[in-house]
A and B are shown apart, each in its own frame.
Chain A
Amino acid sequence: MFRLERGSPPVWWRALLPVLAVLITFLLVSLAIWAAGANPLDVFYEMLIKPLTKRTARFEILVQATPLLLTGIAVTYAFAAGYYNIGAEGQLYAGALMGALLGPKLGGLPPFFAITVMLLAGFLGGVLWALVPALLKVRLNVDEVVTTLLLNSVIIFFISALLNGVWRDPISGWPRSPSIAESAQFPGIIPRSRVHLGFLLAILAVISLWWILKKTRFGLELRAAGLGKEAARFMGVPVAKTMLTAALISGGIAGLAGVSEVAGVHYYLIDGISPGYGYTGIIVATFGGLQALGVTIAGLFLALVDTGALSASRSLGIPVYLGDIIQATLLIVTLAVLLLNRYRPVRSR
């Protein structure tokens, strides 16, 4: 038999913990499914296996994974630096807003330039929205959790004011921004699917996350600041500058998630363009263990849960919010299971 002893766990133990978290999550969620009068195994099959067997559904998962990967990476940069950015949702909207403002004006440009402008604008929007809380944190030591959280609501009100004001369609009365120019639309990257350039962008972002965290001095300093500010400062890490940079990169990538939804999926900005992707990004980052490979798996897995919840609600009549319950339970269970990281299994005789 095994028993647990305090200490540094072996690698296989660390790899086992996410699997354990998923198992516990599905056991807990089974209760909700029973309450809905369905067989949990049927539901899980419909949600998690069936989408993988169909071509359309497989690609839909990638479309859904695009914003989740980007916000997950955004949150990872911040959390790994010990900066608790709860504002990816607002930064996503800031990026989407920039895209919606510039997009309709890029008609004369060749697509390559138009799309580059869109990406830069989205990144910049996210950076700007992340700037105030980040400066308040490093200059005045104002807690970032509350400021980033509150700014989410502020930008959503601002966009709502635009949608119900200058952007409201005078004829149909429909609250949406003008359509972006065709040259600014992200091209599809897989024929006969909705997968767009944004997914490629997410993959590039994952690779650069891995490279920056593991291979650069900045990444080392970032992780040192995240492990302990005092110790990092003692080792000569410029903690304030590192945190500020991490917070702004985080905002920028969340902004890319926003512009990618505008330019890759909708081609205009509407209310509720994100059903909480910024918050789901926190689940992706936490479940992914704040590192590139984990975040990739987590983003794809949560996208599968989202897509599967939709198809299970259609075919089995299970409320679609089952997906939200699974994701939230997974977050809480993961946090708890990570406690086991402080222990290692020892064979007892």
Chain B
Amino acid sequence: MDFLFALLGATLRISTPILLAALGETLIERAGILNLGIEGTMVLSAFCGFVVAHLSGSLWLGLVAAILTGILLCSLMGLLSVTLNLNQHVAGLGITLLASGLALFSFRLVYGGSSTPPSLDHSFPQLAIFKGTVLEPLFSQYGITYVALLLVPLLGWLLQNTAFGLRLRSVGENPEAADIAGLNVYWVRYQALIVGGALMGLAGAFLSLAQLGAFTHGVVNGRGWVAIAIVIFGNWQPSKVLYGALLFGFLQALQLRLQAQGIPLPYEALLALPYIITIVILALAGRNASYPAALLKPYRREGA
């Protein structure tokens, strides 16, 4: 039983950054933009959060810096893909390459090439609820994890039941009609990018300010790409995105456990599984996949 709860606790912890990033990407994709800048956005957010927290001594300032970095990079994505109507996948990839490069460049500038990477004196603590009960190992999580879990129903409600959600979905499904109905398509897409960027920034902050308490080259290590896969796995719905993130977290936690126990297993197979499942889902859904209809399609107003 203890083993199981510890495993599930690790699952929640590992799922958190993926969940946050995937929720952010969900909002952005529902508005019609595939943001391949996600991976780099997480890297630079993790770095900015770390460097601000390390130099100022305040974790909360670091958190704010990470979120602002996410918003800034996603606004840049907006400038390129919404305002200038550039090719979304190439622009997004450009942002990932640029942001990762900037993070590694600045890290080297601030900390030099020291062999012992700097780390925070204290990172965000784990908050135990259900203290002293059998559930304690499951619910001793970082605060951001609880926030991420609460965001799932909140964003689901936001998308389905509010005017903001309706506007967001309509510019992702049929921007022409949304425009005729009087919506400012560009501005709605920017709003989605700003909220999504904040979530990606939070994902980066979780990695460097809570889970690791440090910044390393491989801090994000493809989690952004996993998030892209999980958005598809979750059919662009926050609740199902949660299942995808938990599945990924579980496989990863299981892999770590098995490895720690010295069980010889090609654990890379477990790591690759979410990617393969996503591709299989795409193949099975084929033409019926419920992509936001205007995903990847730039929108330009008539005469603009």
Give chain B nearest CB distance to A90 CB in angstroms: 11
Chain B 249-285 interface 0/1 with A at a Cβ cutoff of 8 Å (1 = within): 0000000000000000011110110011011001100
**Among A154, A160, A331, A339, contact of B275 (Cβ-Cβ < 8 Å):** A154
Q: Among the interface residues B93, B100, B286, which one has the most CB atoms of the partner chain A within 10 A?
A: B93
**Could you tell me if B105 and A324 are in contact, using CB atoms closer than 8 angstroms?**
yes
B34 within 8 A of A: yes
B51 within 8 A of A: no
Q: A86-B93, A153-B225, A319-B109 are in contact. Are A146 and B232 (CB under 8 A)?
A: yes
**Could you tell me if A150 and B229 are in contact, using CB atoms closer than 8 angstroms?**
yes
**Could you tell me if A150 and B278 are in contact, using CB atoms closer than 8 angstroms?**
yes
Closest A residue to B100 by beta carbon equals: A324
Complex: A153 Cα to B274 Cα, angstroms: 11
**Could you tell me if B94 and A321 are in contact, using CB atoms closer than 8 angstroms?**
no
Count how many pairs of residues, one from A and one from B, have CB atoms less than 8 Å apart in the complex: 128
Q: Say which size band chain B's interface belongs to.
A: 35 or more
**Could you tell me if B108 and A321 are in contact, using CB atoms closer than 8 angstroms?**
yes
A165 within 8 A of B: yes
List residues 319-349 of chain A with CB under 8 A from any CB of chain B: 319-322, 324-325, 327-329, 331-332, 335-336, 339
Complex: A279 Cα to B97 Cα, angstroms: 9
Give chain A nearest CB distance to B127 CB in angstroms: 33
Closest A residue to B229 by beta carbon equals: A150
**Among A146, A152, A319, A339, contact of B84 (Cβ-Cβ < 8 Å):** A339
Complex: A190 Cα to B12 Cα, angstroms: 56
- Which stretch from A11-19, A112-120, A135-143, A207-215 is at the chain B interface? A135-143
**Could you tell me if B272 and A153 are in contact, using CB atoms closer than 8 angstroms?**
yes
**Chain B residues whose CB sits within 8 angstroms of the CB of A36 once the complex forms:** 105, 109
**Among A141, A150, A329, A332, contact of B286 (Cβ-Cβ < 8 Å):** A141
Complex: A145 Cα to B296 Cα, angstroms: 10
A265 within 8 A of B: no
A44 within 8 A of B: no
Give chain A nearest CB distance to B269 CB in angstroms: 7
**Could you tell me if A143 and B291 are in contact, using CB atoms closer than 8 angstroms?**
yes
Kindly list the 6 A-B residue pairs having the minimum CB-CB distance in the complex, ordered from nearest: A324-B101, A328-B97, A328-B98, A319-B108, A140-B286, A161-B268
Task: Enumerate chain A interface residues (CB-CB to B < 8 A).
Answer: 32, 35-36, 84, 86, 132, 136, 140-143, 145-147, 149-154, 157-158, 160-161, 164-165, 276, 279, 282-283, 286, 319-322, 324-325, 327-329, 331-332, 335-336, 339
Q: A154-B272, A160-B268, A324-B100 are in contact. List 6 more A-B contacts (CB 8 A).
A: A140-B283, A146-B228, A282-B90, A324-B105, A335-B87, A336-B84
